[in-house]
Amino acid sequence: MNLLEVKGLTKRFGGIVAVNSASFDVGKNEVVGLIGPNGAGKSTLVQLLMGIIKSDSGEVRFNGKDITRLKAWQVVRQGVAGTFQCTKPFLRLPVFANVLVASSAWKKPGQNGEASMGKAMSVLKKVGIPHLAKLPASQLSHGDLKRLEIARSLATDPRLLILDEPFGGLNYNEIELLSDLVKKLRKQSEEDHPTENSGLSMIIIEHKLSELMKIVDKVIVLNYGEILAFGTPEEVTKNEAVINAYIGEEGI
Ligand code: ADP
Ligand code: MG
């Protein structure tokens, strides 16, 4: 059984079919890229997965359970967490407090305050910014703000992490560092949970294709709400329809 199974997912906004009968799977510990031209339906698709908006038809199964009709907070409880294109931390609060808000809001039954604080520190270590814990979020660089946003998502104990344009606004160096973090998170999850029913899968929306292709196992290409291609980076970048609709002749 795959961790995430999406079948025939469709969302209309008035006359626009933003997502048109999308079907795909994401496996355990798998990192999947989601690409396509502006307006292709990428953000709509992940918001459907997160329960932020409701589909018109189709089904989303997570870990074997039908989550199609769950509310956004219930979807988080099932283990799906997303960051958004815009990072929205509490700027005047210290980094640690920003993560503590998430770890205590999504605490497990019986998890006391101390455990929530421990959790907050452990996710800050995971994303590589424990030394910034006491700084107000307003003093972080753009790259560290992205790390903070990922830490807040990780504090909810997700099994699927959804990143919407994580490289947006970052310089080359910051992109390399964030790519390394994604690789590290997946390696860690594979080492921690080689066979069990846990670990971390990711869906990453990104326009910076050459960087994205280095960190994903598979790529979904959306075009006018439809899945144009779904395969390994190599398969997708050779696909004629994808080249015509998105990548262009010059390649990535
Ligand atoms: P992408 O993230 O790939 O750029 P979106 O999912 O944001 O694409 O948008 C897909 C299509 O759905 C676009 O035509 C967009 O204008 C439309 N759309 C998205 N959200 C809404 C909304 N809340 N109301 C009306 N139309 C929307
Ligand atoms: Mg978008």
Dihedral sign from CA coordinates of 47, 52, 54, 58: positive
Pocket perturbation via mutation, ligand 1, pick of 16, 52, 54, 56 by most ligand atoms within 8 A of CB: 16
Cα separation of 62 and 60, whole Å?
Answer: 7
42 lines ligand 1 (CB under 6 A): yes
Question: Do the bridges between strand 4-13 and strand 57-62 make them parallel or antiparallel, or are there none, so unpaired?
Answer: antiparallel
How many other C-beta atoms lie within 10 A of the C-beta of residue 225?
23
What's the CA-to-centroid distance between 52 and ligand 2, angstroms? 14
Q: Indicate the residue type of 193.
A: H
11 lines ligand 1 (CB under 6 A): no
85 lines ligand 1 (CB under 6 A): no
Q: What is the pLDDT along the chain (252 residues), one digit of tens a residue?
A: 899 999 999 999 999 999 999 999 999 999 999 999 999 999 999 999 999 999 999 999 999 999 999 999 999 999 999 986 556 889 999 999 999 999 998 888 888 999 999 999 999 999 999 999 999 999 999 999 999 999 999 999 999 999 999 999 999 999 999 999 999 998 887 777 666 667 899 999 999 999 999 999 999 999 999 999 999 999 999 999 999 988 887 777
Query: 3-state class of 199 per DSSP?
Result: coil
What's the CA-to-centroid distance between 141 and ligand 2, angstroms? 23
The ligand 1 atom nearest the CA atom of 53: 23
Pocket perturbation via mutation, ligand 1, pick of 44, 207, 246 by most ligand atoms within 8 A of CB: 44
Name the residue at shortest CA distance from atom 23 of ligand 1.
13
